[in-house]
């Protein structure tokens, strides 16, 4: 925030300096005009008094020469001043990026600590409201959003009944929220298509089929189609595409949800999929970093581990994520798999591992967008960690958003208490919110 105030103060100083420069320019021009009139009168007088001595004529010639020189100097000074003013104006140009940054900072400045912490959670409408099945947004939704200003809501098939019902539910929910909301869904195509399956839409084929055909434009077209109908209902986040490389043929959890067992093919497909989806205004979320394609276990029910070396993962698993980053993906989901060769042997799931989230994804791969955990109500987390502990660990590891904690209220209160006692700093919370709101507010500016 102090840096923003400094930038604004610098712009005010430049405006004041530009005003002073303008006054100087006007003064120089007036002096030059005055000198011209003065010497012009003297020149006319000398013409009338031609009988004056030759030395007077010489003096006038010298004065005229002096005037010409002074005029040239004045013109040069004016040109220099205009050049300086032009340079200053260029330096002080207020860009769309500046406007976005200011909007983000203004949003954060207007949030209470409770609102900030709630904004890090991405939950189901049932977790938010306490209702067993949400198919409409009314008083319960409005009151819950007043209490918990969550960052996002994720919907499943049970929340969808018809096109009109879905549109109205999302529209009403958005109108109740004080801050912009993420509306997310898992819509990968193939067997994971919550919206298309429920509404009986023409369903996109599994990504494995598109990858096998080798046509990257087909990947782009598929996700443009998916993004098109998602955005028409009000969704702005798709937890897709799958960026895993299917390096273990016995892995049925991922299977043909992945584009390919060839890392190069998967990388090309993921890049085009991200582009196609985000062109529709729906944010992509690559999953499941650092790569779920080699595991035999299912992190939905318990621990899942990859024994791939870091060198192997850099050569294969990381490639689709890197290509998705280069394509500009708004989000990356970190899975619950353990990868001991990335963490010096520890068995922490990737979603709560600082070595993986900050060390590898942020620092080594250079990702600066939103990092979200996989659903924290999955067995790989709930068997070993309470909701509050898991949420705090995820944030301390470098995650920006916590998806579907087993007990949302416990997780929320745990993070709030952690900020109060200094376990997690408010500055750390603000860093994540800046990344979140850059995406949420971007369309208003750019």
Q: How confident is the model at residue 444 (pLDDT cuts 50, 70, 90)?
A: confident
In this prediction, residue 24 carries a pLDDT of 47
Same domain, 291 and 424: yes
In this prediction, residue 73 carries a pLDDT of 53
Q: Do 411 and 402 contact (CB within 8 A), yes or no?
A: yes
Same domain, 75 and 100: no
Strand partners, 370: 331
The reported pTM is: 0.80
Same domain, 126 and 63: no
- Active-site option among 374, 400, 417, 421: 374
Instruction: Indicate whether 3 pLDDT > 60.
Output: no
Does residue 221 have an active-site annotation?
Answer: no
Domains held by the chain: number: 2
Neighbours of 161 (CB within 10 A): 14
The residue with greater pLDDT, 330 or 78, is 330
Q: How confident is the model at residue 29 (pLDDT cuts 50, 70, 90)?
A: very low
Q: How confident is the model at residue 44 (pLDDT cuts 50, 70, 90)?
A: very low
- Reduced to 3 states (helix: H, G, I; strand: E, B; else coil), residue 287 is strand
Same domain, 145 and 70: no
CA 327/CA 272 separation, integer angstroms: 8
Q: How confident is the model at residue 437 (pLDDT cuts 50, 70, 90)?
A: very high
Same domain, 160 and 84: no
Instruction: Indicate whether 51 pLDDT > 50.
Output: no
Q: How confident is the model at residue 16 (pLDDT cuts 50, 70, 90)?
A: low
CA 392/CA 113 separation, integer angstroms: 15
In this prediction, residue 303 carries a pLDDT of 75
CA 209/CA 223 separation, integer angstroms: 14
Same domain, 142 and 10: no
Same domain, 58 and 201: no
Same domain, 64 and 200: no
In this prediction, residue 40 carries a pLDDT of 47
The CATH number of residue 293's host domain is 3.20.20.300
Alpha helices in 279-407 (DSSP H): 310-315, 318-326, 354, 379-382, 387-397
Distances in Å between the Cα of 36 and the Cα atoms of 41, 207, 231, 250 are 9, 80, 69, 93
Please identify, among 91, 121, 136, the residue that sits at the C-terminal boundary of a domain: 91
Neighbours of 106 (CB within 10 A): 12
Instruction: Indicate whether 165 pLDDT > 70.
Output: yes
Same domain, 256 and 345: yes
Q: What is the pLDDT of residues 269-298, one digit of tens each?
A: 999 999 999 999 999 999 999 999 998 766
Instruction: Indicate whether 325 pLDDT > 90.
Output: yes
Does residue 374 have an active-site annotation?
Answer: yes
Same domain, 123 and 26: no
In this prediction, residue 178 carries a pLDDT of 98
Dihedral sign of CA atoms 55, 56, 59, 60 in order: negative
In this prediction, residue 166 carries a pLDDT of 99
Distances in Å between the Cα of 343 and the Cα atoms of 330, 349, 371, 380 are 26, 10, 18, 17
Same domain, 321 and 188: yes
Dihedral sign of CA atoms 252, 253, 258, 260 in order: negative
Q: How confident is the model at residue 258 (pLDDT cuts 50, 70, 90)?
A: very high
Distances in Å between the Cα of 352 and the Cα atoms of 26, 173, 320, 355 are 64, 30, 22, 9
Instruction: Kindly give the pairing relationship between strand 187-189 and strand 192-193.
Output: antiparallel
- At residue 403, φ and ψ (nearest 5 deg) are -95, 125
User: Which of the listed ranges 9-23, 59-73, 331-345 does the model predict with the highest average pLDDT?
Assistant: 331-345
Neighbours of 425 (CB within 10 A): 12
Mean pLDDT in residue range 202-227: 98
Report cis status (omega within 30 of 0) of the bond before 288: yes
- Active-site option among 42, 300, 417, 430: 300
Instruction: Indicate whether 254 pLDDT > 80.
Output: yes
Same domain, 173 and 50: no
In this prediction, residue 48 carries a pLDDT of 38
The residue with greater pLDDT, 338 or 25, is 338
Strand partners, 305: 338
Helices 216-233 and 163-176 pack at an angle, to 10 degrees, of: 70
Q: What is the mean pLDDT of the chain?
A: 87
Boundaries of domain holding 78: 2-91
CA 283/CA 438 separation, integer angstroms: 12
What is the percent of the chain where pLDDT is above 70? Answer: 78
Q: What is the pLDDT of residues 219-240, one digit of tens each?
A: 999 999 999 999 999 999 999 9
Least confident of 161-165, 342-346, 395-399: 342-346
Please identify, among 91, 126, 141, the residue that sits at the C-terminal boundary of a domain: 91
Neighbours of 144 (CB within 10 A): 20
In this prediction, residue 187 carries a pLDDT of 98
Please identify, among 91, 124, 153, the residue that sits at the C-terminal boundary of a domain: 91
- Reduced to 3 states (helix: H, G, I; strand: E, B; else coil), residue 290 is coil
């Amino acid at each position: 925030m102090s840096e923003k105030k400094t930038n604004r103060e610098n712009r005010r100083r430049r405006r004041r300096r530009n005003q002073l420069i303008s006054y100087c320019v006007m003064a120089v021009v007036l002096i030059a005009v005055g000198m011209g009139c003065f010497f012009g009168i003297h020149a006319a007088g000398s013409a009338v008094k031609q009988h004056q001595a030759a030395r007077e004529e010489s003096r006038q010639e010298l004065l005229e020469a002096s005037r010409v020189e002074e005029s040239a100097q004045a013109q040069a000074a004016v040109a220099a001043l205009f050049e300086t003013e032009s340079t200053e104006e260029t330096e002080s140009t207020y860009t769309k990026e500046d406007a976005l940054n200011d909007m983000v900072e203004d949003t954060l400045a207007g949030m209470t600590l409770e609102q900030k912490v709630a904004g890090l959670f991405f939950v189901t409408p049932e977790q938010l409201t306490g209702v067993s099945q949400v198919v409409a947004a009314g008083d319960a939704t409005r009151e819950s959003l007043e209490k918990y200003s969550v960052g996002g809501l994720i919907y499943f098939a049970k929340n969808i009944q018809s096109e009109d019902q879905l549109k109205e539910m999302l529209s009403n929910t958005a109108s109740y929220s004080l801050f912009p909301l993420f509306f997310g869904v898992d819509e990968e195509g193939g067997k994971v298509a919550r919206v298309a399956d429920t509404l009986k839409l023409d369903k996109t084929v599994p990504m494995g089929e598109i990858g096998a055909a080798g046509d990257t434009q087909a990947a782009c077209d598929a996700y443009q189609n998916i993004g098109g109908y998602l955005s028409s209902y009000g969704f702005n986040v798709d937890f897709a595409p799958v960026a895993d490389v299917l390096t273990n043929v016995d892995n049925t959890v991922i299977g043909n949800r992945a584009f390919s067992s060839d890392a190069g093919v998967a990388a090309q497909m993921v890049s085009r999929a991200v582009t196609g989806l985000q062109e529709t205004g729906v944010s992509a979320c690559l999953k499941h970093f650092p790569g779920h394609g080699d595991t035999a276990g299912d992190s939905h029910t318990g621990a899942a581990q990859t024994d791939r070396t870091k060198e192997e993962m850099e050569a294969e698993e990381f490639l689709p994520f890197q290509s998705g980053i280069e394509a500009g993906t708004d989000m990356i989901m970190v899975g619950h798999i353990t990868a001991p060769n990335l963490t010096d042997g520890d068995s922490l799931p990737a979603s709560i591992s600082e070595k993986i989230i900050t060390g590898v994804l942020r620092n080594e791969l250079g990702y600066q967008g939103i990092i979200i955990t996989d659903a924290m109500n999955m067995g790989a987390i709930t068997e070993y960690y309470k909701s509050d502990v898991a949420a705090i660990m995820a944030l301390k590891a470098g995650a920006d958003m916590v998806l579907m904690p087993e007990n949302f209220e416990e997780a929320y209160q745990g993070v709030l208490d952690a900020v109060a006692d200094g376990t997690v700093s408010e500055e750390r919370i603000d860093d994540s919110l800046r990344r979140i709101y850059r995406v949420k507010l971007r369309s208003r500016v750019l």
